[in-house]
Amino acid sequence: MKLHILAIAAHPDDIELGCAGTLIKHAEAGQAVGIVDLTQGELGTRGSVALRYQEAQMAARLMGVSVRENACMADGFFQNDEAHQRKLISYIRKYRPEIVLANALSDRHPDHGKGGKLIADACFLAGLRKIVTLQEGAPQEPWRPKRVYHMMQDRMLEPTFIVDISSTFLKKMEAIRCYRSQFHDPESEEPMTYISSEHFINTIMYRDALIGKRIGVQYAEGFFSENTPGVANLDSLVLPDMP
């Protein structure tokens, strides 16, 4: 299956928090989108690996994702080295995305920055013919995505560009709430964590509203690009009508 967009992130729920609104928007436009979670989130204080898989698949169905896989790298301990790059190259060549959405390059959780760099490096290396990877015993063709964009996560940094998600914001919040083991659940008896308070969920809403305000829309998501994005002409920059 060839995908238009492949979202790759360190933990199940990273995608939902950072770029679900954008991913849903493209899925609703009829484009094939998919997700690869690098780890199973096994170091999470709350829940279990089995439960996270169930929650991730529930969220994927809600978002209209064509495929969701888990690379089963070690939560907290994966590295940006040859072995992990080769593993990720196989997924990139398998799905041949035009665009990859990735973790932030710097964030509160060290796996996010580490994951962002691993993903960016693997996307470049996936285009080199002399790097050999196999799928079901057969050599894979090289493939390099046209663009790699990094999502905004915990740290509120200046984005390179902003995507209007006003039409998909409510569905994004539904996808986040699929992770009942991780986020606010008044019935849970598990330990309180940084992300399990009601306040944390509210900050996601406030953040997307604040980013939306920057471009005159209700809700938006911010992205970062290490390369300068370009447009064909000035008409490609569609701005909202201002009263």
Residue 146, Ramachandran bin (φ over 0: left; ψ between -120 and 50: alpha; else beta) = alpha
Domain ranges of the chain: 5-223
- Spatial separation of the C-alpha atoms in residues 96 and 60, rounded to whole Å: 19
The residue among 83, 105, 112 whose CA lies nearest residue 159 is: 105
- Mean pLDDT within 40-51: 96
- Mean pLDDT within 179-188: 90
Q: Are 51 and 177 in contact (CB under 8 A)?
A: no
Beta strands in 134-216 (DSSP E): 134-135, 138-139, 147-151, 161-164
pLDDT score for 1: 87
- Mean pLDDT within 153-170: 96
Residue with the bigger pLDDT between 56 and 184: it is: 56
Confidence of residue 187 (pLDDT cuts 50, 70, 90): confident
- Spatial separation of the C-alpha atoms in residues 233 and 243, rounded to whole Å: 25
* 8-state DSSP, 236: G
Burial class (CB in 10 A: 0-12, 13-18, 19+), 78: buried
Beta strands in 10-66 (DSSP E): 33-39
The domain defined by 5-223 folds into: Rossmann fold (3.40.50)
Confidence of residue 42 (pLDDT cuts 50, 70, 90): very high
What would the pLDDT profile of 107-131 be if each residue is shown by its tens digit?
999 999 999 999 999 999 999 999 9
Pairing relation of β-strands 147-151 and 220-224?
antiparallel
- Spatial separation of the C-alpha atoms in residues 234 and 15, rounded to whole Å: 31
- Mean residue pLDDT of the chain comes to 95
Confidence of residue 236 (pLDDT cuts 50, 70, 90): confident
Look up residue 230 and give its two tokens: 């370009």
Q: Are 59 and 25 in contact (CB under 8 A)?
A: no
Lowest mean pLDDT among 2-11, 12-21, 137-146, 229-238: 229-238
Contact residues for 195 (Cβ-Cβ < 8 A; gap 6+): 182, 183
User: 239 pLDDT exceeds 70?
Assistant: no
